[in-house]
Chains A and B, each alone.
Chain A
Amino acid sequence: MIKNEDRSLHAPYYEQRLDSGLSVLFLPRKSVLKSAVIYVPFGCYPHEESINGTKIPFGTGYFLSAMIASPGFLKEMQNKGIRLTAFQDYSYTTYTLETLGDIFQAIDMLLKRILRLKVEEEDIVSFREEGKENFEKDMKDPFFLVEKEAVQNLFSASPIRKGRLPDEKESLQIHSSTLKKYLSAIYQGERLTLLISGNYTAKEVQSHFAFLPLRGHTTIESVPSVFEEDYTKAKTTYTTFRANAPFDILSFGLKFPKREELYNLYGDELFSFYEFLESAAFTRNEPFLSLVRSTSSDLLRAKLEQAGEETYLLLTFRTEQETKLANVLTNYILKIDTHVSHSLFASLKDHAFAKALASLSLPSTALKAFTNAYANNVAYPALAKSVSRMHYSDMKQFLSKMSSFPRAASYLKAIR
């Protein structure tokens, strides 16, 4: 295994690509906990229109992950003291294993499950019923509604408008035959990455490589989803609607330029900006929070999402003066580069680095950090290091560019 180490991070890690094509990443950690992740580089963002001639409906990957991590299989793992969690982001799907016992047994059980999975149509039907309940629950959640509306105001064509989960109608398009095709095309050894962390040596980890049950190579032909998104403007700048909610809510979004364009400008440093953009400009920026409070509003949450070529930042507020708030936000964004002080930048930079060190010390949080960064083809320690070396002037320059990003908001007037 190839060792990577930056001494200031106290977190060496090893990499190896196996003959099966599987990439393995190992992080030795002195912890009672052992953790592993199977990383699948496909998430809920519909990159593929069809695979080998079969149309791939929105939500296929999500349904498949639910079939793999079925309640019966979760219970089987649980009774052996293994916690399995399936998670799907826009760009990837992860299966996380945690145990105080033998992590290699856990990996073996999960890989065998993936290799031998039998999906029956009745499993899909029953999961669809459960999904219906979740969908209905989402439709009653004012935060979900207002944020989805804001994203739909930002984007005109991108599939990101759909959100993460299929609705009832979309889920009717998903059948066991589609899942089988998707499984054999996507879950091949050469597409997957196995991340392991625990109190082991690289040699101990290597000794298990020969026995990993994996799906072999299959040639696939896929047709990518095609859409035309105009990154220079928002679809609609402002919408209002009424829904049941405890108070009025405003969600304000910024649409970033095409990812390729930003990457060409900033390279990997782009992801360092993303690491603390929310806190520097909004959540820990007292002048900003004070402006918000002056409109009888309160910032409830901020999130930066990336999917395919799309990136957006969403700020969600409780408000009593939505027009005043929207104006304050617009004016703030127009001069955003002047609102982040050098001292705040320095403090948050140190804070982000310290948080990274803490994340890297525990197997479960270390692997979570690695998988998040992995989606951008960046090794997490390199990202953490880059954050610690970032210059104020570069951040200011990025913020200055951000002031011209298209904006959109959605306002939910509460029915109490």
Chain B
Amino acid sequence: MHMPTELITGNYGQRVVIRRVYVEESSITPERFFLLPELLSLSLQATEKKPLERYAGANLAFKGYHYGSGYVLEARLTQTDIDGFHFFFDPYTKAKKILEESFSSGYTESPYLLETAKKRLLFAQEEQKKDAVKCIEGELSALGSTPSLNQTLIKAMTLEEARQAMKAIRESTTGAYCYIGKEQKKKEARIEKAFSSDFRSLPFRMNVSAQDVFDDFAKEARGYVLEIPAVTNLKDVSTVSVALTALGKSIQNDLKKNYNLAPEFRFRFLSPIKVLFLLEFAPHQLLMADSYLSDAMVSPLPFSFDSYLEDALGEEKIKEVSLASSLDKAVDRLLLVQNFGLGFTSSSFFQREIPTREEVQSELSSIKVTKKVSAFREENQR
């Protein structure tokens, strides 16, 4: 039995209950897996027995993504949660029931729905193929990413194959719940019984043999896998965030000054000890930056970050504001907490300790560059 990860707060006027189910790569093909969230979302509209119709303000959404050596199918139930507005006597148990049913009853088996779901997935894949950053994330099998899928297999998918995919999800015994909302009266109802193991038992994996990719990208990108001191709490997450923002700003400044290039940067956690740091360039600019980056992205990082720390700390403060003003951002943060088993309390969630300049400097000096992957426009392959 495992406790779900909870953030007890009335800040958003809404509660969210998330059910995440993990399946191993070996038990399902990626094409079948990634069709499921599309099918489930469409079925919600199409089914005659609408599970949420009676519950005003409720919304159920599905998504799928890479996790460890498999995939996670996520169902997210959101509902208005304010005093004097009670649709559920016991919201958590009721939400859990709705989420379980949404997985067990599956989707509506209609050829039209299947075709629409395939087209939505194919469109998402087309968009991903143009997005250099998403391609690098997919190539690395980064946590939370979508791989590049075989379009012929998607087009040929039958209802029977979709059925088998749903069966693999139903049979999975690894999963977890997340909750954001007010304190519930029935505490024992929160105890998780549905899964025999949770996300703590899963290893973090990435595709270490990822290669450069060439395609018809709208922009070009370079990703660096960085090794960092292990994050164990939310302050560590902030420290990494400020450090990588300072790194990104240093690179931006150098490239602007010396090459008149203006890349964007971003990063995402791959595990508690690995981060993917991404630079995104206008077409044909990545090669121009290549020699600079070869000298710059080495261990230890050869930068003087002093003049960028204030701005990086400023951006971190804005991220704190975003967290308090956006339920989606809070959910993302809570899922990170669940993924990495980080320690936190509801009060520290919103008012985290901002790292000092010294702590950020120390973080930056510990970073090791371990791998790089690029996404070039295809003409660069010649």
Contact = CB atoms under 8 A, between A and B. Distances in A.
B57 A99 contact: no
A337 interface: no
Interface string B25-58: 0000000000000000000011000000110111
Interface in B55-96: 56-58, 79-85, 87
A100 B81 CA distance: 22
Interface string A297-314: 010000000000000000
A290 interface: yes
Contacts of A318: 119, 123
Interface string B342-358: 00000000110000000
Contacts of A355: 57, 80
B210 interface: no
A51 interface: no
A83 B321 contact: yes
Nearest to A297: B116
A341 to B, nearest CB: 11
Contacts of B10: 30, 361
A79 B311 contact: yes
A99 B11 CA distance: 14
Given A246-B123, A290-B46, A294-B112, A358 B14 contact: yes
Interface in B303-360: 310-311, 313-315, 317-318, 320-322, 324-325, 350-351
B113 interface: yes
Nearest to B354: A81
Interface stretch (A37-45, A175-183, A346-354): A346-354
A394 to B, nearest CB: 20
B324 to A, nearest CB: 4
A412 interface: no
Contact of B317 (A31, A81, A343): A81
Interface string A70-96: 000001001111110000000000000
B82 A357 contact: yes
A113 to B, nearest CB: 17
A289 B324 contact: no
Interface string A279-302: 000001010011001101010000
A126 B79 CA distance: 45
Interface of A: 8, 10, 30-33, 35, 75, 78-83, 98-100, 246-247, 284, 286, 289-290, 293-294, 296, 298, 318, 343, 347, 350-351, 353-355, 357-365
Given A79-B314, A100-B350, A354 B80 contact: yes
A342 B85 CA distance: 23
B212 interface: no
B351 A361 contact: no
B245 to A, nearest CB: 12
Interface residues of B, number: 43
B266 interface: no
A193 to B, nearest CB: 21
B13 A99 contact: no
A329 B221 CA distance: 42
B183 interface: no
Contact of A81 (B83, B119, B127, B320): B320
Contacts of A363: 325
A246 B13 CA distance: 39
Contact of B11 (A33, A289, A343, A350): A33
Contact of A296 (B85, B115, B127): B115
19 contacts: A8-B84, A32-B11, A32-B350, A33-B325, A78-B311, A80-B314, A83-B321, A100-B351, A246-B127, A289-B46, A318-B119, A351-B58, A353-B56, A354-B79, A354-B85, A358-B81, A361-B12, A364-B325, A365-B325
B378 interface: no
Looking at B56, B82, B112, B115, the one whose CB has the most chain A CB atoms below 10 A away is B56
A362 B318 contact: no
Nearest to B119: A298
Q: Which of A82, A293, A318 has the most CB of B within 10 A?
A: A293
Q: Is the interface of B mostly helix, strand, loop or mixed?
A: helix
A290 B112 contact: yes
B167 interface: no
Contact of B116 (A99, A293, A353): A293
A361 B46 contact: no
Nearest to A76: B314
Contacts of B87: 354
B56 A98 contact: no
B45 A75 contact: no
B120 interface: yes
A350 B52 CA distance: 12
Interface string B106-146: 00000011011001100100110000000000000000000
Contact of B45 (A10, A32, A81, A289): A289
Nearest to A354: B57
Given A32-B351, A354-B57, A354-B80, A360 B13 contact: yes
Nearest to A84: B318
B325 A358 contact: no
B46 A362 contact: no
Given A79-B313, A365-B325, 17 more contacts: A10-B84, A10-B85, A31-B11, A31-B324, A32-B11, A32-B350, A33-B324, A75-B314, A79-B314, A98-B321, A100-B317, A100-B320, A246-B123, A246-B127, A289-B45, A351-B58, A362-B12
B85 A357 contact: yes
A140 B265 CA distance: 23
A41 B12 CA distance: 28
Contacts of B318: 78, 81, 83
Contacts of B320: 81, 100
Instruction: In the A-B complex, list the 4 residue pairs whose CB atoms are closest, starting with the nearest.
Output: A354-B57, A361-B13, A350-B56, A354-B56
A389 to B, nearest CB: 15
A311 B315 CA distance: 39
A10 B82 contact: yes
Nearest to B126: A246
Contacts of B351: 32, 100
A296 B118 CA distance: 12
A362 B13 contact: yes
Contact of A247 (B13, B58, B82, B123): B123
Contacts of B123: 246-247, 318
